[in-house]
Amino acid sequence: MEYVFFIVILIFSIVIHEVSHGAVANYLGDPTAKYAGRLTLNPLKHLDPFGSIFLPVLLLIISRGTFAVGYAKPVPINPYNFRDQKWGTLKVSIAGPGVNLFLALIFGLLLRVFLHFSVLSSFYPIFIYIVFMNLLLAVFNLLPVPPLDGSHILFTFLSDKWSEVKIFLQRYGFFVLIFVIIFGWNWIFKIIEIIFRLITGYAI
């Protein structure tokens, strides 16, 4: 049953993440996601069978319920439509992790309040999952490695003299990401754990 809660919360957190990208893009003048029918919270419009269901379930089983991450179908964006050509891509890229951090903060603060009311104790596990999953999505997606949002943020600030770094990451980003997941997961989890403690008041 815990796996079911975990997957459901993960799916909706991913959906909200993707919708946020499309909503900000639409606000900036690019209606591509809107015309594609992706500005909706209906999971069926966003789910990727492998990335949204199979991968997180597999990771949960392998890690014995300690780790899972997934992805949805990317929201289509055309940056050439942005009114703000300089910072438009940056704003859209920040939107996804930003909304995940916001959700983690809201439910984390509610968790602090609910700790004082034992009658609401049944909500604790759900809120813990929501905070954890949204922190995981935010921190993971802010890694400066393609195709994650952090890479678009990084590329916004890289000058032309760093073009070779950009080309390397675009070409080998997937392998770099696998390397980071395998050898850097402990550091990623420590960052999540620190933020979780700051928001909720106690450790994961």
Residue 61 has pLDDT above 70, yes or no: yes
Give the relative orientation of helices 124-141 and 163-200 as an angle to the nearest 10 degrees. Answer: 160
Of residues 184 and 18, which shows the higher confidence score?
A: 18
Comparing C-alpha atoms, which of 153, 133, 150 is closest to residue 52? 133
Clarify whether 18 is annotated catalytic: yes
Q: 145 in helix, strand or coil?
A: coil
pLDDT band at 143 (very low <50, low <70, confident <90, very high): very high
Q: Write down the catalytic residue from 2, 18, 164, 193.
A: 18
Residue pair 133/10 in contact by the 8 Å Cβ criterion = yes
Which domain does 135 fall in, by range? 2-200
| pLDDT at residue 66, rounded to an integer | 62
Q: Is 64 exposed, middle or buried (0-12, 13-18, 19+ CB in 10 A)?
A: exposed
- The number of domains in the chain is 1
Amino acid present at 201 = G
pLDDT band at 151 (very low <50, low <70, confident <90, very high): very high
Residue 138 has pLDDT above 90, yes or no: yes
| pLDDT at residue 65, rounded to an integer | 63
pTM over the 0.85 mark: yes
Cα 49 from Cα 54, distance rounded (Å): 7
Residue with tokens 């996804």: 96
Cα 24 from Cα 150, distance rounded (Å): 16
Cα 26 from Cα 153, distance rounded (Å): 19
